[in-house]
Structure 1
Amino acid sequence: MLLNVIISLLNVIISLKPEVVNSSIPINYENIKAVLSDMFSAGTDTSSSTIDWAMAELIRNPDVMARAQAEVREIFKGRQVIEETDLQKLKYLKLVIKETLRMHTPVPLLPRASRKDCEINGYFIPANAKVFVNAWEMCRDPKYWTNPESFVPERFENNGMDFTGNHFEYLPFGSGRRMYPGMTFGIAGVELPLAQLLYNFDWNLLEGIHRDNLDMTENSGITASRKEDLFVVATPMIHDFSY
């Protein structure tokens, strides 16, 4: 999916090149390479990090893991392949992903710049000041969330809250005109691999490691990935494809 998007973008850029060759920001091979590099990093690092966190939280919460696996295996019973068009049926898995994005916001600090002088809650912010929105803290603020440090996907059931930027206590993709434009693409890049992992394998920690002792420290950087790698044992699920 990502490769197809990048190929389409590359075709558009190349087709525009003759029109902007004399532009103040020319499109040359170095600029094209930089754009494609950004596409790969933004489209893979955050998605893989979210899948990693989701698997870690599912391992730590066996009841959630059991419910998510039961949903996937019931809906796709007898199927050899899960198609992208089938993902809308996975209601509980979507809640798991929402809760993962709440607890482990892919980009915890959203940098912004003020366009003009303003005052917020008594604080003067000059024009062009760099402002960092702490999305991580907002998603764990006990003023807005019950038991914010607990992984509870059910908190998103029947409350209408989503990550489309309309609820300022939950902004994994930002909000407004600077909201992450690849949100739909990024969610699909998490849903499909995660559904495949839950459908085809049973998961357990290595012998001697208890789920309560699993290291959940976050790495420092633009993307809040896990500091330590997640090592688990995957046992293939034997499916009956005779349906």
Structure 2
Amino acid sequence: MGLTMGQPQAHGRAPRVGVLGGTFDPIHTGHLALGALFARTLALDELILMPAGQQPQKTGSTAAEHRLAMTRLAADGLADTMRAAGLRAQLTVSTLEIDRAGPSYTVDTMRALRTRYGPGASLSLLIGSDQLMRLNTWHAWRELFDFAHVCAAARPGFDRHNAPPEVRDEIVRREKTADEVQSSPRGGILIDDSLAVDISATELRAALAGAEHGSGPGARPPANLPAAVWQYIRDQHLYRS
């Protein structure tokens, strides 16, 4: 699965596992805040950060080796933040999707993780509400609920009533509280509106390509980018225009 930090704290019950995947191109503080939010809300025993391999809906991503390296650097800082906040979740950086040949379909990932953690574990896919709004465009999206819960952090302007009808119907049918997600293995939808963070990786890449964020000694890191990730980007000369 990759890098792990800390020890799970299941205390004899079924484990609670959250999976935060994405292109992470680059990983930013919004991703980390979402992970920490659900680590607390769901009292997770393990939080998995999973850089995507081949994204079916995206092209031209930065090489997987760089995205994985940036994720590991960001995970170091997130682990410190979580410990300082009293969160005891084990933090894992997984290479499952990067190592798998072919497109990275989330349903395949969740199927594999369900096999690994067993039928009783509370397994949750952690996403932003923008992804929830287009969940119906994902490959075999309804099958996700056979393996996991879907937990979404609302971004500013989110309105569930604007979701596509089929997604809205699933929200109505499946919505659960945090306690219900913690105590059941799969099949629910949780929407958390306490974070309200709106950070765009596309805008970050544009900022990184700008002159004011160049490689000179006076270069400034964009807001919302972990310092270690910024340094890696500079060292590897990524996102140059």
Larger radius of gyration: 1
TM-score range, shorter chain: under 0.3
Taking structure 1 as the reference length, the TM-score comes to 0.23
Taking structure 2 as the reference length, the TM-score comes to 0.23
Please state which structure has a larger fraction of its residues in helix.
1
